Amino acid sequence: MPDVAVAVMRLPNGEGLDLPAYATAGAAGMDVVSAEDVTIAPGARHAVATGLAMAIPDGFEIQVRPRSGLALKHGITVPNTPGTIDSDYRGELKVILINHSADEFAIRRGDRVAQLVLAPVTRASWVEVHALDETTRGTGGFGSTGGVVALKG
């Protein structure tokens, strides 16, 4: 699949930092780094500056996702995952992080804080109807299909 060009502008606070990059040939997400030093207290959230603004092509979005190592080892994640950057947004990309651990977490300028995934957008058009087709599941939701062995259902 060919690469999709995304225009990116380095802001003054992003000078000298790496642009988002894929860590391996098979990586789906590009690591993005912090443009600031910040310490996130336990239970607190912070919008971490990246020093980047971009022009995402029409028909695409960039999804902001947590880094698995930060989530597993430190309890640091993206609370609205995946976060969406719309194609018409031109402001600085900031990554909302939350600290789910019991300890403060220090982020230093240049630290990898999240992953960015470029994804196509399919737009919906609503078709209002008076009835929906029947399915085996029907209106069952919120655990109705089971799957948690400890809860026996």
Query: What's the start-to-end Cα distance of the chain, in Å?
Result: 42
Residue extents of the structural domains in the chain: 7-122
Would you tell me which CATH number, out of the four given (2.60.40.1180, 2.70.40.10, 3.20.20.140, 3.40.1350.10), belongs to the domain 7-122?
2.70.40.10
Q: How many CB atoms lie within 10 A of CB 9?
A: 12
pLDDT tens across 65-117, in order? 999 999 999 999 999 999 999 999 999 999 999 999 999 999 999 999 999 99
3-state DSSP: the chain helix, strand, coil percent, rounded to 5? 10, 35, 55
Q: Supply 16's token pair.
A: 């000298």
> Which pLDDT score is estimated for 152?
64
33-75 tens-digit pLDDT:
999 999 999 999 999 999 999 999 999 999 999 999 999 999 9
Query: Can you give the pLDDT at residue 145?
Result: 72
Report the DSSP pairing between strands 60-65 and 45-55. unpaired
